[in-house]
Each structure stands twice: as C-alpha cells, then as structure tokens.
Amino acid sequence: MIFYSVHKDIVVNSKKTNKVICRFKDGKFETDDPILIEKLKERFRYKENLIADFNRLRKEAIKKGIKVHRKTKKADLIKALEGVI
C-alpha cells in the first residue's frame, strides 16, 4: 500500500517506543506490513498497490489449481477463489 503526506520528507516515530517506524520520501511511503498499514491508515492518505494485490491473487489461484492466463482479470480471480474457498 502506498501512503501520501503533505510534507515531502518526514519521519514517523512510534509513540510507545519512540523509534522510527517509517520514512516518507518525496511525500510517499510504500509498505506491505499489515500492522504498519493499520497504524498509518488513521493519519495519512493512501492508495492500495493493485499490482501487488493482483500478483498475490494470481499466486493463490495457481496454488489452488485454478488455471490462470495472461489476460485473466482481477475480478475473475476473486470470483474463482471465492468459489474454491
């Protein structure tokens, strides 16, 4: 997920430990850590990384035995995985 800040280069510290948890560069920060995502969603604008999500869905579909082609759409993958699960 990509987070955006109004300020260009900022550092975000943890309130509990006072350690750096992320650094924004040119107003952007990208992460896949689910705990960090939940913390940052409260304070910063964000946009989900759709390409990473698509690749994750594609890998899951292959593991489940669903045939995946080059032109398979994300919506089709979600429907196929819901049918299997």
What confidence tens digit (pLDDT) does each residue in 50-68 have?
Answer: 666 788 888 888 888 888 8
* 27 and 57 assigned to the same domain: no
Q: How far apart are CA 4 and CA 44, in angstroms?
A: 6
Structural domains of the chain, count? 2
* 37 and 54 assigned to the same domain: no
Q: How far apart are CA 85 and CA 77, in angstroms?
A: 12
In three state form, how does the secondary structure of 24-39 look?
Answer: CECCEEECCCHHHHHH
Q: How far apart are CA 54 and CA 32, in angstroms?
A: 14
* 7 and 42 assigned to the same domain: yes
* 18 and 34 assigned to the same domain: yes
pTM for this prediction: 0.55
pLDDT of residue 54: 82
pLDDT at residue 38 greater than cutoff 80: yes
* 39 and 65 assigned to the same domain: no
Mean pLDDT of the chain: 86
* 7 and 41 assigned to the same domain: yes
Boundaries of domain holding 62: 50-84
* 32 and 54 assigned to the same domain: no
